[in-house]
Chains A and B, each alone.
Chain A
Amino acid sequence: MADFDPLEAEVDTWMKQFAAIDDRPHGLPDPGALWVKAKLLQSQAAMERASRPITGIQIAAYLLVAGGWAALVTWKWSALSAWINSFTPSHIILGAAGAQTASSLSLTFVMALIALASVTVMLAFHTILAEE
């Protein structure tokens, strides 16, 4: 292909005429405002990057606590269901009549329950306070 493009001059003239048309309907954004907004966006992005590991740890904590509750309930399911059933009218009547009802929950279970409940509450408070 030849180096010389016969259309170059014609297109150049037209493009320059086209570019010379002033068709901006209003002024340009203020550079000071752009600068401030750009810096704000940059610090926002930096904060998000910094908080990503914390968010990851939070999610892991939620999963651990949920897993803890699931394990606790599974471990003592029979005792728990018996304890819940003890509140039914028939069991109350039997209990009042002196009949043997469900066995009580062990101290270990109660302590595990208290510990897990405390962790859950602490995690919930941490999330609320972090949001604020």
Chain B
Amino acid sequence: MTADGLILQAPFALQTATFRRTPKRPMDEAKFEAFYRKTAARIWSYIFRMTGNAATADDLLQKTFFRFLRSNPAIANEDHLRHYVFKTATNLVFDHFREIRRHHQHTVDVPVAFDHRHRDELRHDMMRAFAELKPQERALLWLAHVEGSSHEEIADAIGVKGKSVKVMLFRARKRLAGILTKRGLAPETRHG
């Protein structure tokens, strides 16, 4: 198994992951565009589900990628970059909620219907159910179940210790299951 372009003996692999001796190759426009087309939709969905507002999601998506480019990301594997972008997006979403709290707004944005398809009601119900969770719980569940992030990646993204993630996920799932049951949205109750 090799790291990108680098073949190392096992004891040294971890060291080089920390002390990168190879010069950073910043991302060029073409590579950025390719990466953007692969990840932007997922980032937008994540931010939208977290904030509940499409305009906020648009704004934070742009800010996420501005910060991403400002950090002059070195070309590593895509998983590493994707994790970095999700971490940036999560920080921006948490900053957004702190800003809201500072202005004493206690309600979480729930999207206004912008289409009239028949499944709109279900979408609204699901958004409302998800919005009942705390921002950190939303981030945990999304990163774990939708993005398939590892506990270490989740811990890094939301700024907690790795060992805490398992317990936090357990609690978040329990909370969500309770909310879904209460709203009649749990898989058995919806289809039963």
- Nearest-Cβ distance from residue B106 to partner chain A, whole angstroms: 24
Q: Are B145 and A23 in contact (CB under 8 A)?
A: no
Q: Cα distance A110–B32 when bound, in Å?
A: 65
Chain A 26-53 interface 0/1 with B at a Cβ cutoff of 8 Å (1 = within)? 0011011011011101100100000000
B176 contacts chain A at the CB level, 8 A cutoff:
yes
Q: Cα distance A24–B55 when bound, in Å?
A: 10
A99 contacts chain B at the CB level, 8 A cutoff:
no
> How many B residues have CB within 8 A of the partner chain?
42
Chain A 101-112 interface 0/1 with B at a Cβ cutoff of 8 Å (1 = within)? 000000000000
B54 partner, pick from A11, A21, A24, A45, beta carbons under 8 A: A24
Q: Are B58 and A29 in contact (CB under 8 A)?
A: yes
Which stretch, B34-42, B74-82, B153-161, touches the partner chain A?
B34-42
Q: Are A24 and B44 in contact (CB under 8 A)?
A: yes
Task: Name the prevailing secondary structure of the A interface residues.
Answer: helix
Chain A 79-120 interface 0/1 with B at a Cβ cutoff of 8 Å (1 = within)? 000000000000000000000000000000000000000000
Task: Name the prevailing secondary structure of the B interface residues.
Answer: helix
Q: Cα distance A102–B76 when bound, in Å?
A: 82
CB-contacts of B78-137 with A (<8 A): 111, 114-115, 119, 123, 126, 130
Determine the interface band of chain A, counting residues with CB < 8 A from chain B. 20 to 34
Nearest opposing residue in chain A for B113, CB measure: A23
Known interface pairs A14-B176, A34-B65. Does A1 touch B123 (Cβ–Cβ under 8 Å)?
A: no
What residues of chain A lie closer than 8 Å to B37, measured between beta carbons?
Answer: 31
- Nearest-Cβ distance from residue A31 to partner chain B, whole angstroms: 4
Q: Are A12 and B70 in contact (CB under 8 A)?
A: no
Nearest opposing residue in chain B for A39, CB measure: B69
Q: A35-B33, A42-B69 known; 15 other A-B pairs, CB under 8 Å? A: A1-B167, A5-B169, A14-B180, A15-B146, A16-B145, A17-B126, A23-B111, A24-B48, A28-B61, A31-B33, A34-B62, A34-B66, A35-B69, A38-B66, A38-B70
